[in-house]
Amino acid sequence: MSLQTSRLPLKKRIRRALSDGFMRASIAAAQDLINRKRQDRFAELGDIDSWREAAAEIRAHTLDHLDFYLDRFVTQAEASGCRVYFADDAAEANRIAAELLGSKKARKAAKSKSMVTEEIGLNEALQEIGVEVIETDLGEYLLQIDNADKPSHIVIPALHKDRERFRRVLAEKKGYSGDAAPENMTRFVRGVLRQEFLSADVGITGCNFAVAETGTLVLVTNEGNGRFVTTLPKTQLVFLGMERLVPTLSDLDVLLTLLPRSAVGSRASVYMTLLTGPRRTNDLDGPDEIHIIIVDNGRSEVLGSPFRDVLRCIRCGTCMLECPAYRHISGHGYGALYPGPLGAALMPALGGYPAFKEIVKICSLCGACDEVCPVKIPLHKLIFEHRRRIAEELRLNSRLEDAVFGSAATALGSPFIYRTATKAAFLANLAPRIGPLRGWTKSRRLMKIPTRRFRDWYKKHRAQEGN
């Protein structure tokens, strides 16, 4: 995978998503359920805004001093026995990984869920050199064997599927003969994956956070697959987005208090793994080697841009669960690895406007995402700034959009044209039957515009009162 998950035009993606009734119902049910649970868990913390403020300050402070904390983390990680590499882009990250796996003569890698490895297309790069990559997160695994389907949410990747679809896929691809009960299918997959863990040459993980003061890697999972990936294979590769640092363990406590509550409405994740260096002499398990690849892949440019606040993100996905647009089109409608309000703010900054200028149009600018973001990213303001740059600085809008908004600006700037246009505004009552508004008004009933303007009525009314 890479940053772009679909080559379809925006309208086709949205039509396809809107026509998927099951997906829309699943997203709506998940939003309603998790949002209620999140509110309950937040209420237990008391003054939630002070928690969010503290988390925002930690993330902002880290970004302000990122070079210092990166240097400190690398020093501590190497002191604990890890090997650390820097990759400027996806190609370099994949090249380093390929060389490491080649030096181990690895043929199979067990991998836990990781957005940054999806971002750089690691699976495809390793498959090209003959390494089989096994996804071990249950949702990711089911998508992988279902013809490498794309995730629809960054925390709940298979949200758009139903249990019967999974039963058919497991039967066709893995010989499952049971029913569609989730616990039975999960038990079957657990047996399959157990053998994959035991036979994997290398374990691959992402990293939720990396603690600068101790060189510690932090993994937050709910299924235990992360524990297997980090303990059974002798060699472990960790991909770390360069912004995912926290200065101290005390700072980590604040972020881990908010992350599971925001992501799935839980007080804590089922598994939380802190790794500081490879296995030591008296340790019972753990990898003999840990290689950490710190990935830039455009983050340095975002850090120096007006969109740097989006790098505060802790990948909880809360903004998606609150977003009314995401509710109807899911992650697939965005056609981007990072969907929802996060994607609309991040993707144009990370992947460029030529590929992602359309994604910002999905946002209604309602600001609901801002109200729930645990690190207070002003998402809708960043999305609005993208729109402004696209229209005013880069002039990337279509000719039709330029013509419409240019005409509006001319009319609003000229008293004569404005007066004439508002007097003729009642003609817009025909809009449902003509022009580009026809599709938009198909399911809406617009208010009828009166033939007389309010100011004309008021002027006449005052004149009559004066008489």
Kindly state the tokens that stand for 377: 């990213």
Calculate the CA 362 to chain-centre distance: 15
How confident is the model at residue 12, as a pLDDT?
Answer: 93
The mean per-residue pLDDT over the stretch 391-395 comes to: 89
pLDDT higher than threshold 80 for residue 437: no
Q: What is the mean pLDDT of residues 139-146?
A: 93
Question: Is residue 370's pLDDT more than 90?
Answer: yes
pLDDT at 421: 87
> Looking at 145-154, 398-407, 424-433, which range is the least confident one?
424-433
Query: How many degrees, rounded to 5, is the angle at CA 281 between CA 279 and CA 283?
Result: 55
Look up tokens 């609309």; give the residue: 344
Give percent of the chain above pLDDT 70.
Answer: 97
CA distances from 147 to 196, 246, 289, 416 (A): 19, 37, 32, 61
Q: For residue range 306-334, what is the model confidence (pLDDT) as tens digits?
A: 999 999 999 999 999 999 999 999 999 99
Stretch 399-416: mean pLDDT: 85
pTM score above 0.75:
yes
Q: How does the average pLDDT of the chain come out, rounded? A: 92
Q: For 176-198, how does the pLDDT look when each residue is reduced to its tens digit (9 = 90+)?
A: 999 999 999 999 999 999 999 99
pLDDT at 429 over 90: no
pLDDT-based confidence at 74, cuts 50/70/90? very high
User: Bigger pLDDT: 161 or 168?
Assistant: 168
CA atoms within 13 A on the CB side of 198: 6
Best mean pLDDT range from 28-37, 88-97, 163-172, 430-439: 88-97
Which pLDDT tens digit goes with each residue over 143-161? 999 988 888 888 888 888 8
Q: What is the pLDDT of residues 357-369, one digit of tens each?
A: 999 999 999 999 9
Query: With 80 as the cut, is the pLDDT of residue 439 above it?
Result: no
pLDDT at 21 over 70: yes
Q: Is it the case that residue 436 has pLDDT exceeding 70?
A: no
**36 or 412, higher pLDDT:** 36
Q: In what order do the strands lie in the sheet with 245-246?
A: 245-246, 209-211, 216-221, 271-275
Look at residues 130, 120, 124, 116 and name the one whose alpha carbon lies nearest to residue 144.
124
Q: Residue 428: pLDDT band by 50, 70, 90 thresholds? A: confident
3-state secondary structure the chain: CCCECCCCCHHHHHHHHHCCHHHHHHHHHHHHHHHHHHHHHHHHCCCHHHHHHHHHHHHHHHHHCHHHHHHHHHHHHHHCCCEEEEECCHHHHHHHHHHHHHHCCCCEEEECCCHHHHHCCHHHHHHHCCCEEEECCHHHHHHHHCCCCCCCCCCCCCCCCCHHHHHHHHHHHHCCCCCCCHHHHHHHHHHHHHHHHHHCCEEEECCCEEECCCCEEEEEECCCHHHHHHHCCCEEEEEEECCCEECCHHHHHHHHHHHHHHHHCCCCCCEEEEECCCCCCCCCCCCCEEEEEEECCCHHHHHCCCCHHHHHCCCCCHHHHHCHHHHHHCHHHCCECCCHHHHHHHHHHHHCHHHHCCHHHHCCCCCHHHHHCCCCCCHHHHHHHHHHHHHHHCCCCCHHHHHHHHHHHHHHHCHHHHHHHHHCHHHHHHHHHCCCHHHHCCCCCCCCCCCCCHHHHHHHHHHHHHC
pLDDT confidence bin for 52, thresholds 50/70/90: very high
Across the range 4-17, mean pLDDT stands at 91
Could you report how far apart the first and last alpha carbons of the chain are, in Å?
Answer: 75
- Which of 349, 388, 344, 338 is CA-nearest to residue 367? 344
Q: What was the pLDDT predicted at 334? A: 94
